[in-house]
Amino acid sequence: MSPLPPNSRTARPPLGVGMVGHSFMGRVHSHAWRSVNAFFDLPLQVDLRVVAGRDAARVGAAADRLGWAESTTDWRELLDRDDIALIDICTQGSVHAEIAVAALEAGKHVLCEKPLANTPAEAEAMARAAADAAERGVLAMVGFNYRRVPALSLARALVAEGRIGTVRHVRARYLQDWIVDPEHPLVWRLVREQAGSGALGDIGAHIIDLAEFLTGDHITGVSAITETFIHKRPLGTAQSGIGAQVADTPSDAEAAAPDASAAGIGTVTVDDAAIFLARTSGGALATFEATRFATGRKNALSIELNGSRGSVAFDFEAMNDLWFHDLDEPAATSGFRRITVTEPTHPYTGAWWPPGHGLGYEHSFTHQARDLIDAIANGTTPRPSFEDGLRVQRVLAAVEASATDNSRWTPVEV
């Protein structure tokens, strides 16, 4: 048997990771950390050191299953470990700020799930902490993973190259249907104290970020409606685990709302749906819709940009495709092209399989891990930054302010 060659796992410097939370997001992040070195040639070797959670038995089982060397019920222990250089925050939003600020102050790089926080004030504190940390070479990144779906990375590249010209329209929707049934229990995502907001922050945050990412512009103001269609729901945990898993916000425990174990009825305190109009700094008009009541739509994130020279369109239901329209083509042979984004020349995809062998949801997280590792090794600033996350938070806040004031036009705070 041969020994490991020079450029081996043991030879590369390790990047010790500590993760907080081990539910939906924790599972997908773990997969990314486990996989990234097998597909990308990186200067650091990921070491899955410790996972933190609230319940000892559950976090222990998660460590076992997800590949972490150790587990703990106290996330603060991670801050003191010399073998941990990066804290990955996969909890529900209500504790993002506390953990992230502490980690950055302790000199740990931070990857924090989205939305950055539950309030602009928290997000501001986090962005300040990130700015301070950056001066010490400590980096922070927020997990808007969809930026790194290859088709969307390619869309950004085309827009940045001017292939669609000046953007006039953004059309973004994120549609789910997991709480259409009025008997679906009052899980924590339906409780404001824990989730911050409902569909708005959970999935609306993604399309806000994508709109800014793809255009390279900022959202300057909004006019909004939010709605809660079903106000009372039974307490109790989601039987099939669907309720717990379906939404897209991280949480370290997919616990139901307070008193969930008691029989009875509780009140939904977040939005079921949010729709809003916006303008961008680049002069585009934008429409947004985030809802958990689009019956039959499971995870239908779609976004289209129309520009003066072309258009791009994406639908997560066919996540390996980007549709591109180039106005420079002769009209007789012009049309939206279905680009299967799996070529070696496409973003990220050369690391995976041959053309046409499509990727899945979790790959965007592996790409996120890749880019963050690269940034850490090279000392560059990873994006989306906490500043980017803060801007999304301010859009979320503007949406809520507009919705509670009769759809009044509400500028986004700068």
**Of 112-141, which residues contact a copy of itself (CB under 8 A)?**
none
In the window 12-71, what residues touch a copy of itself (CB under 8 A)? 24, 27-28, 30-31, 34-35, 37-38, 50, 56-57, 59-61, 63-67, 70-71
CB neighbourhood size of 319 (10 A): 22
Q: Report helix, strand or coil for 304.
A: strand
Say how many residues make up the chain: 414
What is the total count of residues that contact a copy of itself (CB under 8 A)?
124
In the window 301-330, what residues touch a copy of itself (CB under 8 A)? 306-311, 316-319, 321, 324-327, 330
Q: Mask 159-188, x = binds a copy of itself (CB under 8 A)? A: ----xx---xx-x-x-xxxx-x--------
The CB-of-311 to a copy of itself minimum distance in angstroms stands at: 5
* Sign of the dihedral defined by the CA atoms of residues 15, 21, 25, 27, in that order: positive
The CB-of-56 to a copy of itself minimum distance in angstroms stands at: 5
Please say which residue, 119 or 153, places its beta carbon nearer to a copy of itself. Answer: 153
Contacts of 350 (CB under 8 A, 6+ apart): 343, 344
Does 378 contact a copy of itself by CB under 8 A? no
Near a copy of itself by CB under 8 A: residue from 331, 378, 379, 414: 331
In the window 249-288, what residues touch a copy of itself (CB under 8 A)? 273, 275-277, 279, 283, 285-287
Cα–Cα distance for residue pair 99/227, rounded to 1 Å: 31
Q: What angle do CA 127, 128, 132 make, to 5 degrees?
A: 115
| Terminal CA-CA length for the chain | 61
Phi-psi region of 406 (alpha: psi -120 to 50; beta: other; left: phi over 0): left
In the window 195-234, what residues touch a copy of itself (CB under 8 A)? 223-225, 227, 229
The CB-of-309 to a copy of itself minimum distance in angstroms stands at: 7
Q: Please report how many Cα atoms fall inside a 13 Å half-sphere around the Cα of residue 208, on the Cβ side.
A: 34
Q: Report helix, strand or coil for 120.
A: helix
CB neighbourhood size of 12 (10 A): 14
Does 332 contact a copy of itself by CB under 8 A? yes
The CB-of-358 to a copy of itself minimum distance in angstroms stands at: 5
